[in-house]
Copies of this chain bind each other. A is one copy, B any other.
């Protein structure tokens, strides 16, 4: 059972946000969800990607990096059930960056934004000590899917197998495991897919939804915390990306533990009534349930639950 760990991103943000005063009536949903919601159904989110924190240039192509910078932001729109409209791109870059690298990076921005109908509508460039990408995306929805509406009795479901991105990262970082799924696992890490269509469908029936950027263990806790409820996850029911069970074994973890801890899968997690789950046109995996209990309390059952997964935190890791 864990809450906001001291020193974590969540703890820092909670402390800083508590100091902020200004409110504006055109902001319908502020800090604390995947995206802010403005009057007229506009959703917007900002993400930073920093070299040697979020990516290494020796393990990603510039094209894939450009794709990923847009994709992880569009995933926040997917989590709101929003349709992408546009993106702003802030680019901090070392003086030594090659012109071809910049061309590839922009080709990657363009490939992902074009694939999901988001126009690159502005941005900023600057020199910086390491490659730094700040992307803001905008989308629209008539019915934003928030993360704060889960109620006891809801099923906790995910849209696809987890752990693939983390397994791909382990392989990129040099873990010596030979397996047929190697390329697919690496692809899951360097070229994530924002689930825009799935998000729009789930927004109609979910009580709460978010995207899995920091791992199910962290993100399910955040969803429960926002909703004022507790959550239980059965690690034995977490769907594991094919091949990731081999990586889990190599690092000494149960497959479900590894899948629930690993971040950056960009699948969606939602809390929805059983009837909606059973009627859903999507393939969904039931991995746990929302229960009465302290807000944000998370409990695990299944293999590995004696040493619960934490998920990823950019400040603690």
Contacts and interface: CB of A to CB of B under 8 A. Distances in A.
A40 interface: yes
Interface stretch (A47-55, A147-155, A249-257): A47-55
A299 to B, nearest CB: 27
B92 A48 contact: yes
A90 interface: yes
A109 B30 contact: no
Given A22-B120, A86-B24, A134 B46 contact: yes
- In this complex, which of A109, A117, A132 has the most chain B Cβ atoms within 10 angstroms of its Cβ? A132
10 contacts: A9-B125, A20-B110, A22-B117, A24-B85, A24-B119, A29-B121, A46-B122, A48-B134, A50-B92, A53-B128
Contacts of A42: 38, 40, 42
- In this complex, which of A26, A106, A125, A315 has the most chain B Cβ atoms within 10 angstroms of its Cβ? A26
B23 A124 contact: no
A227 interface: no
A49 B127 CA distance: 10
A114 B19 CA distance: 12
A58 interface: no
Given A20-B113, A46-B89, A47-B124, 4 more contacts: A19-B106, A38-B138, A48-B128, A128-B132
A184 interface: no
Nearest to A119: B24
A200 to B, nearest CB: 16
Contacts of A52: 129
Given A36-B88, A40-B40, A120-B31, A125 B20 contact: no
